[in-house]
Structure 1
Amino acid sequence: MTHYDVLVVGGGTSGMMAAISAAEHGATVGLVEKNKFVGRKLLVTGNGRCNVTNNRDKEEIITHIPGNGRFLYSAFYQYDNYDIMDFFQSRGIKLKEEDHGRMFPITDKSRTIVNALTQIMEESKVDVHTNAPVETVLYRDGAVNGVKLMDGRVLYAHSVILSTGGRAMPKTGSTGDGYKWAKKAGHTIKELYPTEVPITSEEPFIQDRTLQGISLRDVDLKVINKKGKQAISHRMDMIFTHFGISGPAVLRCSMFVLQTMKRDKTDHAVMSLDSLPDETPGSLKQTIERLMKKEGEKSMKNTMKQFGPERYILFGLEQAGIDSERAFKTLTPKEIDALITFLKDFRFNVHGSLPIEKAFVTGGGVHTKEVNPKTLESKLMQNLYFTGEILDYNGYTGGYNITGAFITGRLAGMHAAQTALSMKTAD
């Protein structure tokens, strides 16, 4: 019969950190992973470069976790992003900072991080069981006492940590298994939804692929609710696709698109695209009037191409009902206003997102009111802990979700070890 102090279910980012943390706090630790190897999702994060955390202060990191980030406050006061950097750097893994505070291993390879975590688990004598899918988690008398594997083996433990991830990116093994075991323990699962996901649109210009493949750099993208108020705004890059829109600005707006549609009880949300956020309508008007005097003989399309990619500008001229071959000086005041509106506030409808399987992150999950934010222990089932994406919090891409995963893993491991060791003493 195998018995551990702490058993971790799931060998992803938060699971590996939980196992290491529990072992460092003196527990005997087992980790079960259904894939052939650990860290599968970690290998593909940051385009295979692994954005390990973000170099911003706690407050700013929490604002970048728009889905329930407040739940992580007390966790951040015990272990934070600087501790994560220390954890790797003290083990000889050099990190470098890129735009928006994103931290990467200097090797630019996720494999560096996965190998480091694997090696630390080995040194900490964590028993890693790969190819070991769990059939169910065992509960008895209001406490967890182990897991039963699909092959019939039973592993007992004083504390069990569920680090099974969400339902985004199922190819990496995140198929939502943990939710049913949390439910079995009496937990509420907040409705799951995709976040950090491309957005779909049924607009004619999307359906007929007029703008497909056009990338716009450093634009300001907003989600507008039915009262005409802005739900969120993000300034980053984006791209038009055959189904809608994608790219960093879009991924960040996606959660707000779905929430706005739900709140407004409508089948669409409105997006506003400002392709020249550093210009004001007034400065644009002055530029256009100056060009009419200086380059008035040139055609509309030749003069306007300085304001964006040619196909995007031709589309704008068409939207404003202006012939692209006309001389630029023939613009009427009304047409000038129409062009400025297109460049500064092009509005179009969006109708949802790609499915959760295509998302980078899962929204929803185990209700955080039922979990102790200081220890990550279940309030409903003794000695059961949760880490990472199974919990109902979600952040933007850019090192925020992974920061949450490392921090919740670290704390759950520590507190699960302390609980298990105090139980052993009591025995």
Structure 2
Amino acid sequence: MDKNFEVIVIGAGPAGMMAAIAAASNGAKVALIDKNKRLGKKLLMTGGGRCNVTNNRPVEDLIQHIPGNGRFLYSTFSQWDNQDIIRFFEDRGVALKEEDHGRMFPTTDKSKTIVEGLKNEMDQLGVTVIYQTAVEKIIHDGTKITGVRTETGDYSAKSVVLATGGLTYPSTGATGDGYRLAKSLGHHVTPLYPTESPILLDEDFIQKKELQGLSLRDVQLSVVNEKKKVVASHVMDLLFTHFGLSGPAALRCSSFVNQLLKQQDRVTLVLDCFPDLTKAEVLEQLTQQVTASTKQMKNALTGFLPERLLQHFLTKLEISDIAANQLPKAKLEALNDYCKHWELSAKGTFGLEKSFVTGGGIELKEVSPKTLESKKITGLFFAGELLDINGYTGGFNITSAFCTGYVAGTHAAYQSFA
């Protein structure tokens, strides 16, 4: 096999495949190297196997949904954005459809449709894919890249795109190789932590599995710091589990929980079951329902909240069997507090191996926002989750991966001809 290339891309996830395509589209001779025996192993798992390929929101909205340094992507998105992703696939016969909250999926509802679309394009462009090969070292002369060393020998190239992903889903081969390679070239890696991860609670009701399996629609979950300031808040669905909280609201709050846990032992979460109503409005509704009924509280408030959650609150307040019209005002106000401001104590989240996204990564001050090239060594480019950028679930991380991949691959090709 010829081992001389102009651009080498390390990692065959969405960022790596798109980087290889962009570099080859710009005339470069490209090799894509991956440890796995097939392309896009993690990509095949995304979106429940359906692949939420991007999100159709305006760019400003995209950036707001990438709380981990999303502003860094302004330059990337000015060159290639979510609309370009949509056009890329549709121009190649991969039809997409839009679902709730702007999420875009292939009409086949199969992730492999996306992977095959990327593979077909690489085949068309003559990208050499080298499977089941680990990169041991990036070769350089002190100022610029000259190639890579693998377990099967050296390959030469003027540009290398590192796109090895984060540390989530180790079953896909994620072992942090990209961080190690970047560090070996003098780059700093900010502390890594899980994001988009279920939240762990050890409250009594969790231990007793009282609310396990209970799903709440459109509630507000907030993360509060030790100064009682809300640092994150999301109105979405929430799921109680045997370990704590999951569902979209919990996943979106998880990165903020982990960041606070760097300085404190516990993090306060606040659940508002009626985010569209003020506390006074909820109290008024409770009062009306209670004063008009002679039933026991557990029956008088049927339908006000999901049954198990209502019973949990009533039991905590020891008012389940009290006649509704005899309920003391203080107890009614306490129930209102639970409805609008139920405080929970988070002890952590799942680890990186069970989380969706890695927070932290390559220090962005050391990367050019325009080209995604290293500021430390010529010819080294970064793309995807390896960078210190993380977004919410819903197509935002994969959008970042595809777009940074395209931009890094494009500029890697330009650099290889310089």
Fold conserved (TM > 0.5)? yes
Q: Which residue of 2 aligns with 1:403?
A: 399
1:133 paired residue number:
134
Instruction: Determine if contact 2:194/2:355 at 8 Å carries over to the other structure.
Output: yes
Describe how 1:218-257 pairs up with structure 2 within 5 A.
218-257=218-257
Give the number of equivalent residue pairs: 417
Q: Distance in 2 between matches of 1:289 and 1:341?
A: 13
2: CA distance, partners of 1:260 / 1:141: 39
| Equivalences for residues 111-126 of structure 1 within 5 A | 111-126=112-127
Q: Does the residue aligned with 1:4 lie in a helix, a strand or coil?
A: coil
In the alignment, the residues of structure 2 paired with residue 365 and residue 290 of structure 1 have an alpha-carbon distance, to the nearest angstrom, of 53
Moved more, 247-256 or 282-291: 282-291
Query: Unpaired runs of 5+ in structure 1?
Result: 423-427
For residues 143 and 12 of structure 2, what CA distance do their matches in structure 1 show? 26
Corresponding residue SS for 1:119: helix
**Structure-to-structure mapping, 1:186-335, within 5 angstroms:** 186-262=186-262, 265-294=263-292, 296-322=293-319, 324-335=320-331
Structure 1 position 335, deviation (Å): 1.1
Instruction: Write out per-residue CA displacement over residues 72-113 of structure 1, whole angstroms, 9 at most, x where no aligned residue.
Output: 111111111111111111112221111111111111111110
1:338 paired with 2:339, answer no
Whether the 8 Å CA contact 2:142–2:377 is kept in 1: the answer is no
Shift of 1:281: 2.1
Q: Which residue of 1 aligns with 2:41?
A: 40
Kept after mapping to 2: 8 A contact 1:31/1:129 = yes
CA–CA distance in structure 2, aligned partners of residues 48 and 330 of structure 1: 53
Deviation at residue 188 of structure 1 after TM alignment = 0.5
Q: Which residue of 1 aligns with 2:180?
A: 180
Structure 1 runs of 4+ aligned residues shifted over 3 Å read: none
The amino acid that maps onto 1:19 is A
Contact 1:231–1:260 (CA under 8 A) maintained in structure 2: no
- Give the superposed CA RMSD: 1.2
Q: 2 CA distance for matches of 1:302 and 1:147?
A: 70
Normalised to the residue count of structure 1, the TM-score between the two structures is 0.95
Distance in structure 2 (CA, Å) of the matches to 1:96 and 1:218: 24
Deviations for 1:358-381, whole angstroms, at most 9, x for unmatched residues? 110001111010011100111101
Cα distance in 2, alignment partners of residues 278 and 303 from structure 1: 23
**SS of the residue 2:303 aligns to:** helix
What is the SS of the residue equivalent to 2:37?
Answer: coil
> How far 1:293 sits from its partner (Å)?
4.0
Partner of 1:158: 158
Q: In structure 2, what residue type is equivalent to 1:313?
A: L
Alignment equivalent of 1:353, drawn from 346, 349, 360: 349
SS of aligned partner of 1:307: coil
After superposition, what is the alpha-carbon deviation per residue over 1:373-399, rounded to whole angstroms, capped at 9, x for unaligned? 100111101101100011111111111
Q: Which residue of 2 aligns with 1:425?
A: none
Q: State the secondary structure of the residue aligned to 1:408.
A: helix
- Residue 91 of structure 1 is matched in structure 2 by 92
In structure 2, how many angstroms separate the alpha carbons of the residues matched to 1:160 and 1:167? 21
Q: Helix, strand or coil: the match of 1:381?
A: coil
Specify every segment of 5 or more residues in structure 2 that has no aligned partner in the other structure, as ranges. Answer: none
Q: Which moved more, 1:130-139 or 1:119-128?
A: 130-139
Give the SS at the match of 1:168.
Answer: coil
